[in-house]
Structure 1
Amino acid sequence: MPNTYFQFKQFRINQDQCAMKVCTDSCVFGAYVEVSQAQRILDIGTGTGLLALMVAQRSQQAGIEAVEINPEAQVQAAQNFAESPWPARLQLHPMPLQDFAKECSQQYDVILSNPPFFLASLKSDNAAKNAAKHTGDLLFEDILTFAQQHLTPTGKLYLLLPPAEALHFENLARAHGLYVHETLEVYTRIDGKCIRHIQTYIFAPADSVTVNKLAIREADGTTYTVAFSDLLREYYLIF
């Protein structure tokens, strides 16, 4: 049975009500996003609130908003925000992104999302997990349309997706005037499989896309790499 919570150094993620639990690639994403200069940050599809809380820890004054459609996740995220060290800087919008877009007048320096991503894969019998993992209520086009309208001119959109879906998103983004500036390829281990791409989008086309690689574990499949340990050192209790 999965743990009902995940304890980080400065906050706890309660996750007993959410279909999608804390996972390593999401933690890499939350630690990787650059937020030091951001004043306003939006997390689309926050789930447990993990990403919003990770960037809250690293940003000194940013106002952080989060959108979530799932009722159980809404309750969980609200709890995690309230019990964190930064409740005054965290705001949850319990509604679909499409509804939030109709009432939102803010511009954001950073928009980040770990969206439902399986476009054509088989679904399981778990309806809650299907909603969390498969595009449907939250479509790539909705994210791109929102970012096009609500990113500041120098703002950045960050996405965490599997490689195939990342390429699909990249092709869609061009029609919205957003272009990949940097990609971090995340591997299970040094000689392992690439499981995720973390993409950074900006409004200006890049002459060339910077591509970096991060392996979570060494070739033995057990030992964390130095790069992973350094990235998560501010968060994981084991480092």
Structure 2
Amino acid sequence: MGKNSHFQFKQFTIQQDQCAMKVCTDACVLGAWTDVDNADRILDIGTGTGLLSLMIAQRNTYAAIDAVEIEAEAFFQAGENVHESPFKGRIQLYHEAIQDFESEHQYDLIVTNPPFFQSDLRSPAEKINRAHHSETLDFAGLLNAVKTLLKAEGRFSILLPVEEGIQFRTMANEQGWQLRREMTLLHKPDKKPFRTLMEFQNQPSPVLQVLTETLNIYETNGVTYDPKFRMLLKDFYLKF
């Protein structure tokens, strides 16, 4: 998915010709999976094309959403996508690093699809490096930003590759964050998991039961979409 210059959803369009990070299936899953209930103020860290902010605005019809993006081309393209959407009145974009971002508000929910390829071979294209690698935002910096900006009773959701997810979960646990929900994403049942989606909160609860689930994009034949995947994305994908 996501090689075209734009991607059409049911209620909005994502232009992506200026962005290093295109629309991808795992990001769409994060946008549809994240718990957006009872969230009046939401922060999207590293918004890219604006995809997560727009998906969340569609699902939560009242929240004010702030979206932060450091890469100039992505910031301006996100602005274009938001402006052309039905949700432009509720999404505010900021062109800066999350480490420098200051808000007069704290947030009920923070969502992020961060740079995560901490050890992969680097691309010759610098903006792709910034989008994929953690040189501008490592896990410690991300957790520090979230701790500052999230309400005490708030929650945050993150998407990572499986190995990086293990590292992040360990670091988050060491800092007192508690895992509430986790989804493991597979292309199909006979393949290895390739992404982990996690939701954390900052208020430990000894009786909290972590909700864990697995999602396959396709059935075993690799062609037919899994019914659970179709149900999750049915409000967004035209094909569903």
The bucket for the TM-score relative to the shorter chain is over 0.9
Q: Please state whether the residue corresponding to 1:72 is helix, strand or coil.
A: helix
Deviation at 1:151, TM superposition (A): 1.3
Pairwise CA distance, 1:147: 1.4
Q: After alignment, is 147-156 or 73-82 more displaced?
A: 147-156
Spell out, residue by residue over 1:112-171, the C-alpha distance to the aligned partner (whole angstroms, 9 max, x if none): 100000111211222221110110111211221121122122211101001111111112
- The 5 Å alignment of 1:74-93 reads 74-93=75-94
Question: What is the identity, as a one-letter code, of the residue corresponding to 1:147?
Answer: V
Q: Which runs of 5+ in 2 are unaligned?
A: none
Which stretch shows the higher mean deviation, 116-125 or 45-54?
Answer: 116-125
**Deviations 1:13-50, CA, capped at 9 Å, x for gaps:** 00000011000000001000111221000000000000
Once the two structures are overlaid, the 10-residue window that deviates more, 116-125 or 9-18, is: 116-125
Residues of 2 paired with 1:14 and 1:113: CA distance? Answer: 20
**How many residues are treated as equivalent by the alignment?**
237
CA distance in 1, matches of 2:130, 2:154: 29
SS in 2 for 1:194: coil
Q: Partner of 2:194: helix, strand, or coil?
A: strand
State whether structure 2 residue 162 is matched by structure 1 residue 163: yes
User: Considering only aligned residues, what root-mean-square deviation do their CA atoms show, in Å?
Assistant: 1.4
TM-score for the superposition, normalised by structure 2: 0.95
Distance change >3 Å, CA 198–CA 114, structure 1 → 2? same
Q: Which amino acid aligns with 1:154?
A: E
Q: Following TM superposition, by how much is the alpha carbon of 1:79 offset from its aligned partner in structure 2, in angstroms?
A: 0.4
Partner Cα distance (1:171, 1:190) in 2: 26
8 Å Cα contact 1:161-1:196 kept in structure 2 = yes
Q: Structure 2 CA distance, aligned partners of 1:70 and 1:116?
A: 12
The 2-side partners of 1:178 and 1:165 are apart by 17
Whole-Å Cα distance in 1 between the matches of residues 89 and 126 of structure 2?
33
Percent identity reads: 45
- Distance across 2 between alignment mates of 1:162 and 1:55: 22
> 8 Å contact 1:148–1:178 — kept in the other structure?
no
